[in-house]
Chains A and B, each alone.
Chain A
Amino acid sequence: MVQRPGRFRFLRALRDLRVHGLLSPQDVPLAATVGVLLALFAACAIAFPGFLSPGVARNLLVGNAALGLVCIGMTFVIISGGIDLSVGAAIGFSSILIASLVQQGWHPMPAFGLALTVGAAGGATMGTLIHRFALPPFLVTLAGMFLYRGGALMVSERSITIRHPLHRTLAEWGSGPVPPAVVMFVVAAGAGFVVARWTRFGRDVYALGGGEESARLMGVRVAGVKVRVYAISGLCAALAGVAMTLATGAGNATAGHLAELDAIAAVVIGGTPLSGGAGSMVGTVAGVLIFGLIQEAMPRAGVTNSWWFRIAVGGLLLGFVLLQRGLEGRRGQ
């Protein structure tokens, strides 16, 4: 056989690893993510006495449930080859919307429902614009971000405390054994995992991310998939907004500040390349947990300065970007 240059030689080397029961190339980013997570966890467990307690695990989940929810939607968007910058502002909008509706005498349940509907509809609208007019996703969702943030601040610039028995009960559960936000995150992650892996829609998202033209030729209804992907992202962001109101007992228009950035970073660290077509929900959850672990570990290591957190995330991001670039091989030349 003629030896094909470059990329195949590399992939063949990796295939040999797999033949020996070790790895397949598409699993390398995920393996790296899980490896980093386990190493971090082990290091923390050894370095900090009492780290292996339910309390810490709880903190980890509670503290990152909202981010995790956003990341689930973002994972779909990124796998499809797009990006959604509007999620942070969407959190703020749904948070303040719910609080203000309850303040006006709404029952929290329909308020949640309306917030989720707005989130999904907003996402669907952006998806439609992106597809119908072939616009760059990051500009359209940027407009969405301005719109959500401006709208949220117009509803109220001040934080609104939510006073309703049901909401109070739910919020109190937050410090109980089954915090609602964590339940939402776990359920959403499970649903995301199943959808991505075991539904035709989920596989279509991957196909779309692998190449729009090929996907169309293979019979994927590109328009529908794109619209749904952004709708899911909007829905997840609105869910995160609900989680935020439960955690703080109030609605805040500035909630979710920079969450889009954290979410993109966590998803990429979770092994999903921004070029689309690959990635997994498991990786994303691992990415979110890495985020949480670093946050938990830093104060224990005596690093109380939050900026080291950003730098660490940036460094991890760089590492994963370079790893993914290396796996792609040198295109073109």
Chain B
Amino acid sequence: MVDALPLLEARGLVKVYPGVRALDGADFTLRAGEVHALMGENGAGKSTLIKALTGALAPDAGEVRLGGRVIRPRSPVEAQRLGISTVYQEVNLAPNLSLAENLLLGRQPRRLGLIDRRAVRRRAEAIMAGLGVRADVGRPLGSLPIAVQQMAAIGRALDLDARVLVLDEPTSSLDAEETARLFGAVRSLAARGMGVVFITHFIGQVYEVCARVTVMRGGRVVAVRDAGGLPRLELVALMLGVSMEEARAIERAHARAGSSAEVALRARGLRRGRVGPIDLDLRRGGALGLAGLLGSGRTETARMIAGADRHESGRVEIDGRSVPTSPPRRAIAAGVALCPEDRKAEAIVPGLSVRENIALAVQARQGWWRPIGRRAQRNLAERFVRSLRIATPGVEKPAGELSGGNQQKVVLARWLAAEPRVLLLDEPTRGIDVGAKAEIERLVGDLCARGVAVLFISSEVEEVGRVCDRVLVLRDGRAAGELSGEGVTVAAVMRLIAGEGERA
């Protein structure tokens, strides 16, 4: 196994975007017949690596070899033809066509120039049976369970004679039974000599199905290890970029002034889909950190509290009174504001000016018939541009033209201007430079000092430790434990995230 000729090999891949080195000389090796986990938190570079391997983007430097030959696929379709197929988290098939057609689109068997629908059906049934899935291949794909759709994507890849299969977070919307079935199929594919790259954020699944693990951070590969010889805690430490010694040693730099006992917001039994039930309390002047890996339910929890998604059960109380939080307008009226994780899709209004973006929430609360004058808006915006040090030539600049960090500050300014009593920050420091990050961390401290209750979500455990006086750790949609005061240490948080001490 040690000297097996690599099936797919990447050497020194570099991809630079303005301001970021998304890939910084990444190497990756996949052997035939192995299931190989690719791990890393947001921004680690794994999706960029996958895109470079599958032709979705061209690397600035470095090369990719398939079976020893250098390849330069210019599109995913070309990569498919070469034998590298990708199954995305969002299934990229046609939901309106039948399962059989999705498996065979463009390669339907024909007779006399016309599609032989019966042969299509037969071949599709054979493919699915080969994966151990029983499904009606005549039904539209979109009406089948997500698990079957994922299997269809895999089946299509197989029928394309794929040698390498990339599974990009295939299990994030599957339940346990569906996941088990998927793993069964993946194992049998590997046994047939296919190389499988498996991207997931569920640590348990790595140990369940993968032989080797490549961990990425900051655009580089930080470790390639056999899964058997890698303890969970160490894997988490590698992903989060803390050395084991540090992890054990770091205690919080200073004890934070304890928050008041007064509860500003109390959530009980919040539940939606996979996530919940979740209970949490946000205290006046305190910052509660929500830690956990991607997909652990952090974002979903914040969104339920803010009414961005309606919770299916449970309640949110503010000052002891149960309040409706959906649509978000109601949560805002009750003093709850959310800076969502996906800044581009859900926060920034790119065509509007910095001034209008900052004034938007305040204006929305006032109603359309009581406009904030242009001068008042400008004063408001300029105040925040100064205090948050937003780098913009002027408040009339379209917000979409600012850098990521400055856009984030504009969104923060929007909510600070609304003077909320509870502020939910979902990954506020993601994808922004170090300076801006420190400023945002400091800002949270200032807000707490002014009596705002803050919920702070971040993938960086150290950051959570720096900013928050209490930390709630989530795992697989449930609370895994809560830490407070001196108990908030990186090591303790990581232990909860990794789920060590429970079943390994």
Interface residues of A (CB under 8 A from B): 1-2, 4-5, 8, 11, 14-15, 24-26, 194, 197-200, 203-204, 206-207, 209-211, 213-220, 277-278, 333
Rounded to whole angstroms, the CA-CA distance of A213 and B94 in the bound complex is 10
Interface string of B90-107 (1 = CB under 8 A from A): 001111110001100110
Rounded to whole angstroms, the CA-CA distance of A198 and B140 in the bound complex is 17
Rounded to whole angstroms, the CA-CA distance of A209 and B97 in the bound complex is 10
Residues of B within 8 A of A200 (CB): 106, 108, 110, 115
Cβ of A193 to closest chain B Cβ, rounded Å: 12
Whether B96 lies near A194 (C-beta < 8 A) is: no
Whether B117 lies near A198 (C-beta < 8 A) is: yes
Rounded to whole angstroms, the CA-CA distance of A248 and B80 in the bound complex is 55
Q: Is B180 an interface residue (CB 8 A)?
A: no
Residues of A within 8 A of B139 (CB): 15, 24
Residues of A within 8 A of B96 (CB): 26, 206, 209-210, 277-278
Whether A2 lies near B92 (C-beta < 8 A) is: no
Q: Which of A24, A210, A217 contacts B77 (CB 8 A)?
A: A217
**Beyond A203-B101, A207-B97, A219-B77, is A15–B114 a contact (Cβ under 8 Å)?**
no
Whether B115 lies near A203 (C-beta < 8 A) is: yes
**Beyond A194-B114, A198-B114, A217-B76, is A206–B97 a contact (Cβ under 8 Å)?**
yes
Rounded to whole angstroms, the CA-CA distance of A208 and B156 in the bound complex is 17
Those of B142-194 within 8 Å (CB) of chain A: 143, 145-146, 156, 175, 177-178
Q: Is B433 an interface residue (CB 8 A)?
A: no
Not counting A207-B97, A217-B92, a sample of 14 additional A-B residue pairs whose C-beta atoms are within 8 angstroms of each other reads A1-B177, A1-B178, A4-B273, A5-B273, A25-B140, A26-B140, A197-B117, A198-B115, A203-B105, A203-B108, A206-B101, A210-B94, A211-B94, A333-B309
Rounded to whole angstroms, the CA-CA distance of A333 and B96 in the bound complex is 21
Cβ of A24 to closest chain B Cβ, rounded Å: 7
**Beyond A4-B273, A278-B96, is A218–B143 a contact (Cβ under 8 Å)?**
no
Rounded to whole angstroms, the CA-CA distance of A219 and B399 in the bound complex is 37
Rounded to whole angstroms, the CA-CA distance of A266 and B309 in the bound complex is 38
**Beyond A199-B115, A203-B115, A277-B96, is A220–B273 a contact (Cβ under 8 Å)?**
no
Residue among B93, B97, B102, B274 with the highest chain A CB neighbour number at 10 A: B97
Pick 24 A–B contacts, CB within 8 A, sort by A. Answer: A2-B274, A4-B145, A5-B312, A24-B140, A197-B117, A198-B114, A198-B115, A199-B113, A199-B114, A200-B108, A200-B115, A203-B101, A206-B97, A207-B94, A210-B95, A210-B97, A211-B95, A214-B93, A214-B94, A217-B77, A218-B92, A219-B77, A277-B95, A333-B309
Number of B interface residues, CB 8 Å? 33
Q: Is B310 an interface residue (CB 8 A)?
A: yes
Residues of A within 8 A of B113 (CB): 199
Whether B106 lies near A204 (C-beta < 8 A) is: yes
Cβ of A21 to closest chain B Cβ, rounded Å: 13
Cβ of B276 to closest chain A Cβ, rounded Å: 12
Cβ of B346 to closest chain A Cβ, rounded Å: 12
Whether B105 lies near A207 (C-beta < 8 A) is: yes
The chain B residue sitting closest to A19, CB to CB, is B136
Residues of A within 8 A of B76 (CB): 217
Number of A-B contacts (CB under 8 A): 89
Cβ of A288 to closest chain B Cβ, rounded Å: 23
Rounded to whole angstroms, the CA-CA distance of A214 and B96 in the bound complex is 11
Q: Which of B93, B94, B117 contacts A206 (CB 8 A)?
A: B94
Residues of B within 8 A of A14 (CB): 143
Rounded to whole angstroms, the CA-CA distance of A219 and B101 in the bound complex is 13
Rounded to whole angstroms, the CA-CA distance of A203 and B100 in the bound complex is 12
Those of B9-65 within 8 Å (CB) of chain A: none
Residues of A within 8 A of B92 (CB): 211, 213-214, 217-218
**Beyond A26-B96, A198-B117, is A2–B273 a contact (Cβ under 8 Å)?**
yes
The chain B residue sitting closest to A198, CB to CB, is B114
Whether B106 lies near A220 (C-beta < 8 A) is: yes
Rounded to whole angstroms, the CA-CA distance of A318 and B305 in the bound complex is 37
Rounded to whole angstroms, the CA-CA distance of A251 and B222 in the bound complex is 76
Rounded to whole angstroms, the CA-CA distance of A258 and B439 in the bound complex is 62
Residue among B76, B96, B114, B145 with the highest chain A CB neighbour number at 10 A: B96
Cβ of B271 to closest chain A Cβ, rounded Å: 11
Cβ of A41 to closest chain B Cβ, rounded Å: 29
Residues of A within 8 A of B105 (CB): 203-204, 207, 218-220
Cβ of B306 to closest chain A Cβ, rounded Å: 14
The chain B residue sitting closest to A18, CB to CB, is B139
Residues of B within 8 A of A198 (CB): 114-115, 117
Residue among B105, B178, B309, B310 with the highest chain A CB neighbour number at 10 A: B105
Whether A219 lies near B80 (C-beta < 8 A) is: yes
Rounded to whole angstroms, the CA-CA distance of A112 and B321 in the bound complex is 77
Residues of B within 8 A of A209 (CB): 96
**Beyond A24-B139, A206-B97, A207-B97, is A1–B175 a contact (Cβ under 8 Å)?**
yes
Residues of A within 8 A of B156 (CB): 218
Residues of B within 8 A of A215 (CB): 94
Rounded to whole angstroms, the CA-CA distance of A218 and B157 in the bound complex is 10
> A-B pairs with the 7 shortest C-beta distances?
A210-B94, A277-B96, A210-B96, A198-B114, A207-B94, A2-B175, A214-B92
Cβ of B81 to closest chain A Cβ, rounded Å: 8
Residues of A within 8 A of B108 (CB): 200, 203
Residues of B within 8 A of A211 (CB): 92, 94-95
**Beyond A199-B115, A203-B97, A210-B96, is A218–B106 a contact (Cβ under 8 Å)?**
yes
Cβ of B94 to closest chain A Cβ, rounded Å: 4
Whether A15 lies near B143 (C-beta < 8 A) is: yes
Residues of B within 8 A of A26 (CB): 96, 140, 143
Cβ of A333 to closest chain B Cβ, rounded Å: 7
The chain A residue sitting closest to B160, CB to CB, is A219
Rounded to whole angstroms, the CA-CA distance of A203 and B145 in the bound complex is 23
Residue among A4, A199, A214 with the highest chain B CB neighbour number at 10 A: A214
Rounded to whole angstroms, the CA-CA distance of A207 and B95 in the bound complex is 9
Interface string of B107-130 (1 = CB under 8 A from A): 010100111010000000000000
Whether A333 lies near B114 (C-beta < 8 A) is: no
Cβ of A163 to closest chain B Cβ, rounded Å: 42
Rounded to whole angstroms, the CA-CA distance of A214 and B178 in the bound complex is 23
Residues of A within 8 A of B140 (CB): 24-26
Rounded to whole angstroms, the CA-CA distance of A277 and B77 in the bound complex is 21
Interface string of B295-330 (1 = CB under 8 A from A): 000000000000001101000000000000000000
Rounded to whole angstroms, the CA-CA distance of A151 and B431 in the bound complex is 55
Residues of A within 8 A of B117 (CB): 197-198
Rounded to whole angstroms, the CA-CA distance of A197 and B101 in the bound complex is 11
Cβ of A325 to closest chain B Cβ, rounded Å: 16
Residues of A within 8 A of B273 (CB): 2, 4-5
Interface string of B75-95 (1 = CB under 8 A from A): 011001000000000001111
The chain B residue sitting closest to A26, CB to CB, is B140
Residues of B within 8 A of A333 (CB): 309-310
Cβ of B490 to closest chain A Cβ, rounded Å: 33
Residues of A within 8 A of B143 (CB): 11, 14-15, 24-26
**Beyond A25-B143, A200-B115, A220-B105, is A277–B312 a contact (Cβ under 8 Å)?**
no
Residues of B within 8 A of A206 (CB): 94, 96-97, 101
Residue among B106, B156, B312 with the highest chain A CB neighbour number at 10 A: B106
Cβ of A261 to closest chain B Cβ, rounded Å: 26
Rounded to whole angstroms, the CA-CA distance of A214 and B113 in the bound complex is 25
